[in-house]
């Protein structure tokens, strides 16, 4: 069977354009690929358009909008996920504008689909007592428990994204002072994050136990499962959820019911902010693209807001009792008035 123009251009987009011309990371390419896998399922199951007969002229703005709505309604995806799918589609049709301009008007209609506004969620983060309780939960009598303590400690100390932790290798940790770790973030951007002595000690014990200081240690990821394979995103989320639930059994007031791996990142950011660390440094530690992204933490920090208000507060309330209360005779008369 002859390939369709859709399959031809999608293959070029994913295998040549994104990695070769854009320099997109493997994670971005995987995310875009997943968008089109789901899009093809939608067309096959909902529109009865099999992949092997799908051509570009069958794809319209209305069809794309219907797909995006379907991801929310049927697949129960969040608005954020919907927008991620739209970003992948926008990228593909921008590519088509130059590679196949025959249907340029329709491509531009698709590119005009706006990002859907998302309701801002409350940022969940732990207090210092909360993070201490969470890190007490792993059972240090087991190898798995010691690995999990090192994993959670490093996630909190660095404010790393889940994928950044998954991608770590032993050589990315510097054990000479000043202690640092190299993280590879979005767009393959590398950043160096300082490590404090307590976190280094936990990590060193783990790596010594796992034999990760040897010459062949970089054949393995820093954190792995029983088969010496990278932990998955689902696996890391499972580990955190396990200890979150244990911590909630001990004290529900310190651990919110909804607490994800990204909340550990929020926790580190809030603790840095509350310690007086400049937003620019917090931006660099977290790997944000701009300080405006980091400013969200300043907006939600009620402690800093209260301290700022207290510094600016001028007491304008009367500090003395009304004069009539000092007059015992008058006070007695008023109390007995009209009885």
- The 10s digit of each residue's pLDDT in 80-133 is 899 999 999 999 999 999 999 889 999 999 999 999 887 766 678 888 999 999
Q: How confident is the model at residue 289 (pLDDT cuts 50, 70, 90)?
A: low
Alpha carbon distance 146, 181 (integer Å): 19
266 belongs to the catalytic site: no
Asked if 179 and 196 touch (Cβ cutoff 8 Å), the reply is yes
> What is the model's pLDDT at position 299?
61
288 belongs to the catalytic site: yes
Considering only 115-129, 190-204, 287-301, which range has the smallest mean pLDDT?
287-301
Q: Is the pLDDT of residue 8 over 50?
A: yes
Catalytic residue selected from 32, 125, 156, 297? 297
Catalytic residue selected from 186, 191, 204, 205? 186
Tens-digit pLDDT profile for residues 208-224: 999 898 877 777 899 99
Q: Which domains does the chain show, CATH number per domain?
A: 5-111 (1.10.150), 128-298 (1.10.443.10)
Ordered DSSP codes for 252-294: TTTS-SS--HHHHHHHHHHHHHHTT--HHHHHHHHT-SSHHHH
Segment 31-48 shows an average pLDDT of: 94
Catalytic residue selected from 33, 109, 204, 262? 262
Catalytic residue selected from 82, 161, 244, 268? 161
205 belongs to the catalytic site: no
Q: How confident is the model at residue 316 (pLDDT cuts 50, 70, 90)?
A: very low
Catalytic residue selected from 146, 147, 265, 271? 265
What is the spatial order of strands in the sheet that 190-194 belongs to? 173-174, 180-184, 190-194
> What is the model's pLDDT at position 308?
47
Q: Is the pLDDT of residue 318 over 80?
A: no
> Would you mind telling me the total number of residues written for the chain in this entry?
339
335 belongs to the catalytic site: no
Tens-digit pLDDT profile for residues 161-175: 999 999 999 999 999
67 belongs to the catalytic site: no
Cα-Cα-Cα-Cα dihedral sign, residues 167, 168, 171, 174: positive
189 belongs to the catalytic site: no
Neighbours of 31 (CB within 10 A): 15
Helix-strand-coil split of the chain, %, nearest 5: 65, 5, 30
Q: Is the pLDDT of residue 321 over 60?
A: no
**In the predicted model, what is the mean pLDDT of the chain?**
85
Tokens encoding 141: 């009598």
């Amino acid at each position: 069977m002859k390939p369709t123009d859709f399959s031809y251009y999608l293959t070029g987009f994913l295998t040549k354009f994104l990695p070769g011309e854009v320099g997109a990371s493997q994670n971005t390419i995987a995310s875009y690929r997943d968008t089109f896998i789901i899009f093809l399922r939608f067309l096959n199951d909902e529109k009865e358009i099999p992949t092997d007969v799908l051509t570009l002229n069958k794809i319209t703005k209305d069809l794309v909008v219907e797909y995006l709505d379907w991801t929310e309604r049927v697949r129960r995806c969040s608005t954020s996920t919907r927008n991620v799918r739209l970003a992948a589609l926008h990228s593909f049709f921008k590519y088509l504008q130059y590679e196949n301009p025959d249907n340029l008007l329709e491509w531009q209609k698709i590119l005009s689909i706006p990002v859907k506004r998302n309701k801002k969620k409350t940022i969940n983060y732990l207090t210092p007592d909360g993070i201490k309780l969470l890190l007490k939960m792993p059972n240090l009598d087991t190898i798995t428990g010691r690995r999990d303590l090192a994993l959670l400690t490093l996630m909190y100390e660095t404010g790393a994204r889940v994928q950044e932790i998954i991608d770590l290798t032993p050589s990315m940790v510097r054990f000479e002072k000043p202690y640092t770790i190299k993280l590879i973030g979005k767009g393959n951007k590398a950043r160096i994050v300082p490590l404090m002595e307590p976190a280094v000690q936990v990590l060193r014990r783990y790596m010594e136990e796992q034999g990760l200081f040897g010459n062949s240690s970089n054949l393995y990821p820093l954190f792995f499962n029983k088969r010496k394979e990278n932990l998955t995103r689902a696996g890391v989320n499972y580990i955190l959820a396990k200890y979150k639930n244990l911590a909630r059994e001990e004290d529900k007031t310190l651990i919110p019911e909804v607490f994800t791996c990204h909340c550990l990142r929020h926790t580190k950011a809030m603790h840095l902010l509350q310690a007086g660390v400049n937003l620019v440094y917090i931006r660099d530690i977290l790997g944000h693209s701009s300080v405006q992204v980091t400013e969200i933490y300043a907006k939600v920090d009620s402690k800093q807001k209260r301290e700022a208000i207290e510094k600016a507060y001028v007491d304008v309330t009367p500090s003395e009792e009304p004069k009539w209360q000092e007059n015992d005779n008058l006070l007695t008369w008023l109390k007995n008035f009209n009885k």
